[in-house]
Amino acid sequence: MQDLLAGLNEAQRLAVTTISGPVLTLAGPGSGKTRVLTHRIAHLLQQGIAASEILAVTFTNKAAREMRERMQHLVGVDVATKVDIGTFHSLAARWLRRDGRAIGLADGWLIYDDDDQQRLIKRVSKELKLPDKPFTPRAISSAISSAKNELLDAAAYTAASRSPEGRMYAAAYTRYSELLTVAAAVDFDDLLLLTLDLFRTPMLNRYHRRYRYILVDEYQDTNRAQYEMIKALARGSGNVFVVGDDDQSIYGWRGADVRNIRRFESDFAGAQVIILAENYRSTQTILDVAQVLIDAAPKRIHRKLLRGQTPGGEPVSWRECSDQNEESQRVCDAIEGLVKKGVARYADCAIMYRTNAQSRAFEEALSRRRIPYVVIGGMRFYERREIKDVLAWLRLLSNPNDDISLVRAIEFPAQGIGAGSIAHLSEWASSHGVSLYQALIDAAADSTAVPALRGAARQRMMTFGARLYGLVKRAPSLTLLDAFDEMLRESQFVAGLVNEHGGVDAESRVENVNELRRVAGEYAELPVDEQLARFLEEVALVADVDRLAAVDNHVVCITLHQAKGLEYDNVFLVGLEDELIPHSRTHNDPVQIEEERRILYVGVTRARKRLALSRTLRRMNFGRYDQTLSSRFLADIPKGLLAHATNLGTVNPSAGQGRSNPAFQGWGTAAALKPTTVAVQYAVGDMVRHQRFGEGVVLSAKSVDDDVEVVVRFADPAAGEKRLIASFARLEKVTTPN
């Protein structure tokens, strides 16, 4: 026991040893929450609680793997493997695979990922003849997902739809659900909804008896369905332990509801609240900036006073750049300075931004300077076309009624079957309420079936159908690797890659297929009849964040959303401007603005040793420069916490940090790339004219370095109020006639 608790601080120790009843642990950034979770499980085991009675829920497979690996070090491999650890979706899939018959779920069902969902929705749109605007596939899938997050099935959503637009979305939802049923498929949202259906049956008692101790990581990221799942499970023993941080809730756009963690104390009477505020990641100067940012946020349930293990630290640097080109150059200067001085490697540096589009200027600058870099969020392994095509064939071996996979298999390798023939088959299948595979079988058995298919087109379709039929019949007796190899041989998949791509491109794609085959080999020790289903299930459940591959010595370029859970010695937070953070899509909605503040807070707390903040004074958008406003959140940071970068290796003494900052050499390189010299003086009440925004009145004017910052309210409501840098704005004073 002493060894298990050794090295834990007082709050961590309390969180580990408080094992009965509901417990809410509010874990600030870098406070060791994973350590608390794993040590708590180990402590439960030491108290004589069976490993099979413990359930630990995470949000990513990566987090689940890390938790299990740490558990193995604490309690040994044999015991650790008996604890149920997994994501909401992987656990739901496991439970439904075992008990789904209780709610009428057919055997052999498949999980549709985002790409499959988009393909199916495109088919729905075509069938229903929905207009392209506003009914894009992405808009339809978003509407369906939002409905499912609110626990509304197609019938309930239809009943609640009042507007013509809402009824069209409802029709799409209804048809989408019908096609999923025909294909014996479910999407990610269905995994949670179906599990809730399962928990509404007497089967829930079985789960209550099994899981007496429930632990949930990242509770602030739960959506409505996940929240209801945990509440249902916790009604058994009442021993529910959740870890999270309402200050780091940044996924509202995908259904996460920060209210779930905020109402934990009212949901679970007598809940104990434990606050982990000791930070083991960042210097105190970085934490001080983070603290003032988040303290300005409304509706926090408990304030966490962030205390670092590293007092002081280098000052947080702040810079205003003329445009994104200068901003990217200054970041490169700073990175090269760190590397040349030997205080950092490239891999210790991360450039973080609010939107993917901001990466372009940095990619170009890094390339020109020959600085190795990687952009997180590019094409991922399981999203590559050849991988999706292989998986489509394999999914057909498990469930030939999967229409989306069948169409994909027809399209590659090319069968000589055109879109028109596929449309004829699809129309006949829809009118007869059968899958495309069944339509193929019917057409082979009866020449009058699918009459629109004629001649050579019909023959090619029948040849494809016969090949697929043979594979489907042999698949149950084959190991996963044998099925994989037979599929490649029968479909002539590799030849198809060579014919379509050729050369180095084809070679790279074949290597990717071989890598997928290697992954399939990891399932060889399972019973033959489980291998294919388990492989397809686990591949489908790989989350985006799990695909963040380890990189060599490269600078990391990453969005703030993707950076959550990561940390770097040196972080460059760029583009800190209104319209970017908070994003223009927030439309000044208080709830969304609150989340945008939390996004910035998450970014700041990714930094371990050094943090540099920057913005541009103007930004190129659609071929023209727009004036920008500093992010409104920066107004909450006292000037004394920031070192204003002005000259090489120095900071502005007036910023409250009158000492050198040599590590960020280059970040402070003077580069006042201003197109004009400010000679005109402005006063409150002056009428001015801007080339783009028209006429307006000056609300305030103040000196900023060698420039003037002018706030103008323009007459054009679309322009509204703007904060402008006079040297860029080229404002003209308007003389008002007497």
Average pLDDT over every residue of 312-339: 94
pTM of this structure: 0.81
SS3 53: helix
Average pLDDT over every residue of 45-66: 93
pLDDT score of 409 more than 90: yes
- The two tokens of residue 432 are 């007869």
Average pLDDT over every residue of 165-183: 96
* AA letter at 597: R
Question: What pLDDT shows up at residue 420?
Answer: 94
- The strands making up 721-725's β-sheet, listed across from edge to edge, are 721-725, 707-714, 694-704, 687-690, 732-733
pLDDT score of 118 more than 50: yes
CA atoms within 13 A on the CB side of 543: 17
At a CB cut-off of 8 Å and minimum separation 6, what does 623 contact? Answer: none
pLDDT score of 310 more than 90: no
- Whole-Å CA distances, 73 to 40, 58, 76, 81: 14, 19, 6, 12
Q: Which residues does residue 373 pair with via DSSP β-bridges, in sequence order?
A: 555
Question: What pLDDT shows up at residue 585?
Answer: 85
Residue 623: pLDDT band with limits 50, 70, 90: low
User: CB of 401 within 8 A of CB of 183?
Assistant: yes
Question: What pLDDT shows up at residue 288?
Answer: 96
pLDDT tens across 7-41, in order? 899 999 999 999 999 999 999 999 999 999 999 99
| Count of Cβ atoms closer than 10 Å to residue 427 Cβ | 14
Question: What pLDDT shows up at residue 668?
Answer: 42
Rg of the chain, C-alpha, whole Å: 29
Query: Any idea which of 259-268, 424-433, 496-505 has the lowest mean pLDDT?
Result: 496-505
Average pLDDT over every residue of 483-500: 93
pLDDT tens across 535-578, in order? 998 888 865 445 455 567 999 999 999 999 999 999 999 999 99
pLDDT score of 736 more than 70: no
Average pLDDT over every residue of 676-686: 70
* AA letter at 83: V
| Count of Cβ atoms closer than 10 Å to residue 650 Cβ | 17
- Whole-Å CA distances, 675 to 672, 693, 720, 725, 727: 9, 19, 25, 11, 7
pLDDT score of 457 more than 90: yes
pLDDT score of 595 more than 60: yes
Q: How far apart are CA 99 and CA 106, in angstroms?
A: 11
pLDDT tens across 624-673, in order? 778 899 999 999 998 889 987 643 222 333 333 333 333 444 454 333 33
At a CB cut-off of 8 Å and minimum separation 6, what does 104 contact? Answer: none
Average pLDDT over every residue of 616-620: 88
Taking the alpha carbons of 514, 519, 525, 526 in that order, is the dihedral positive or negative? negative
Question: What pLDDT shows up at residue 676?
Answer: 40
User: CB of 69 within 8 A of CB of 105?
Assistant: no
Residue 1: pLDDT band with limits 50, 70, 90: very low
Question: What pLDDT shows up at residue 701?
Answer: 85
Q: How far apart are CA 261 and CA 598, in angstroms?
A: 15
SS3 689: strand
Question: What pLDDT shows up at residue 132?
Answer: 86
- Whole-Å CA distances, 332 to 373, 572, 666: 11, 10, 8
Average pLDDT over every residue of 436-462: 94
pLDDT score of 609 more than 60: yes
Question: What pLDDT shows up at residue 728?
Answer: 62
Residue 184: pLDDT band with limits 50, 70, 90: very high
Question: What pLDDT shows up at residue 328?
Answer: 95
- The two tokens of residue 558 are 């990453």
Which residues carry out catalysis? 33-34, 217-218, 248, 606
Residue 675: pLDDT band with limits 50, 70, 90: very low
Q: How far apart are CA 297 and CA 294, in angstroms?
A: 5
Task: Indicate the DSSP class of residue 636.
Answer: G
Residue 435: pLDDT band with limits 50, 70, 90: very high
Cα–Cα nearest to 642, from 614, 674, 683, 684: 614
Q: Is 575 exposed, middle or buried (0-12, 13-18, 19+ CB in 10 A)?
A: buried
Q: Which parts of 447-527 fold into alpha helices (H)?
A: 455-474, 480-491, 493-500, 503-521
Residue 112: pLDDT band with limits 50, 70, 90: very high
Q: Which residues does residue 696 pair with via DSSP β-bridges, in sequence order?
A: 688, 714
User: CB of 218 within 8 A of CB of 58?
Assistant: yes
Compute the mean pLDDT over every residue in the chain, rounded to the nearest whole number: 88
pLDDT score of 311 more than 90: no
For 289-348, strand residue ranges (E) read 307-310, 316-321
Q: State which H helix or E strand residue 295 sits in.
A: helix 284-295
